Amino acid sequence: MIALIFISLYTNWLAPVRQQLSVLAVPFYQLTDIPRRLNEWRHNTFVSRSELALENETLRTELLIHQRKLQQMAALAAENVRLRQLMNATDILQDSVLVAELIGVSPNPLSHTVVINRGASEGVFEGQPVLDAFGLMGQIIEVSENTSRALLISDATHALPVQVNRNGVRMIAEGTGDLNRLRLRHVSNTMDIREGDLLVSSGLGKRFPVGYPVAEVESVVRDPGQAFATVIARPMARLDRSRHVLLVFDSRDSNP
Amino acid sequence: MLPPKYQARVVITLSFVVALLLAVYPLPLSWRWWRPEFVVMVAIYWIFTLPLRTNLVLLMLLGLFQDLLEGSPFGQHGLALVIVAYICFLSYQRVRNYALWKQSCWVFVLVGIAQLTDNWVQAMSGSPLSGVMFLYPAFASACFWPVCYLWLEAVRRHYRIA
């Protein structure tokens, strides 16, 4: 038994076994998901007309605001393409996404992983970035036929390269095991970083695509006695609340 | 109805399935530390009541299945269950006659041991150990034990498993 533990910890010989057997685990997650589905169904079925009308109105307003922003976006994107052509740089390609739904969370309080309802049959692959509507959530670590498991950015074993949106300073954000805190590593005391700075993924490391919001800097403590400043950031993605997530197919290298 | 021999097996299997479902039922992160270890508790109950019919190999397979469900390294729950089951085998004659609250204390110790091995494996796989927090599930299990015991006892009486 102990030998088995060491094998599964330090080698990946058992990965195919796990992948095959995880079909057995799916019914459990589907069963535990039933109460939530019932609640959603109740929410959708027993809703008054006035509530629906109100929701419709707010959504219309939101749509209008977003459409206005999108109009500007079109012009900006065109300008960006022209400028890039002037500089002989390659075009930024559009990433395609797949919408997935959370069906389970890890019962282990030490590991922040979630189970989603898309798997290898939809083209999900290991290392694929996972987003929600607000920012980067994590990456896929285990794929089976119809489900997969994602590691969240707040897990203590996760780290990702980011940059400050304001000035492009690059650094590494690592999880702390707390859903609402990321720690930035090796930030020197003289670095230009402030509270409220937006951190976006830098695309270094070739795991995550460039430019998705990751976190907002919450506190910067510069202690002259320490070699590095202590910077804490709060993830933009709603790691514990988002039901629907987006799986990104990076157009650079995922389709060989 | 099923013949009595199979009935016992079906009921025991179903109790473990329910325990596994409760073990993976999604909870908010702040509550997750307080989830009782249902699988270990159900295993303890069946060993205390039917010590001669429990099978360590099957328990180990159950633990491996729980690892599969939770995505933890293979063998983590298997090891914990086997150790706890062995201690149960050594002690069932005494503990069966204890009062319910004394049994609860004993369950606290047993689940604590299971948590200890769980956390040993978790720490090796890179998750940080967090003080005595790993004993919270043991405490929750001990609090939950009387309910679990009485409920399982009722089920056992209803289906006449002995």
**What pLDDT is stored for residue B160 in this prediction?**
82
Alpha-carbon dihedral sign for residues B63, B118, A113, B16: positive
Collect all residues with Cβ–Cβ distance below 8 Å to A215 and sequence separation of at least 6: A135, A153, A162, A173, A182, A198, A199, A233, A234, A235, A236
Whether ipTM tops 0.90, in short, is no
Q: Which of B23, B29, B68 sits opposite A24 (nearest CB)?
A: B68
**What pLDDT is stored for residue A256 in this prediction?**
37
Kindly report the nearest CA distance between residue A76 and chain B, in angstroms: 41
* pLDDT per residue as tens digits for the range A9-64: 777 777 788 878 878 888 888 888 888 888 888 888 888 889 899 999 999 999 99
User: Which of A123, A197, A211, A209 lies closest to A166 in space, CA to CA?
Assistant: A197
Interchain contact, B24 vs A28, CB within 8 Å? yes
Q: Tell me how far CA of residue A94 lies from CA of A199, A247, B33, B69, B157, in angstroms.
A: 21, 14, 42, 36, 64
Tell me which chain A residues have a C-beta less than 8 angstroms from the C-beta of B23: 107
**What pLDDT is stored for residue B128 in this prediction?**
67
Chain A residue with minimum CA distance to B26: A105
Residue A193 CA to residue A208 CA, distance in Å, equals 22
Kindly report the nearest CA distance between residue A251 and chain B, in angstroms: 30
Per-residue pLDDT of chain B (162 residues; tens, 9 = 90+): 667 778 888 888 999 999 999 988 888 777 888 889 999 999 999 999 888 888 888 999 999 999 888 888 888 899 999 999 999 989 888 888 899 999 999 999 999 999 998 888 888 877 666 677 888 889 999 999 999 999 999 999 988 887
Residue A222 CA to residue B8 CA, distance in Å, equals 65
Residue A4 CA to residue A2 CA, distance in Å, equals 5
Question: Which of A5, A21, A101, A158 would best serve as a mutation to test chain B binding (most B beta carbons within 10 A)?
Answer: A5
**What pLDDT is stored for residue B113 in this prediction?**
93
Task: Collapse the DSSP code of A54 into the 3-class scheme (helix H, G, I; strand E, B; otherwise coil) and give the result.
Answer: helix
Per-residue pLDDT of chain A (256 residues; tens, 9 = 90+): 778 888 877 777 777 888 788 788 888 888 888 888 888 888 888 888 898 999 999 999 999 999 988 888 888 888 888 888 887 766 666 678 888 888 888 888 788 889 998 888 888 988 899 988 888 999 999 888 888 999 999 988 899 999 998 988 999 999 988 888 999 988 888 888 989 999 999 888 888 888 889 999 999 999 888 889 999 999 999 888 888 898 988 755 544 3
Q: Judging by DSSP bridges, how do beta strands A228-235 and A129-131 pair with one another?
A: unpaired
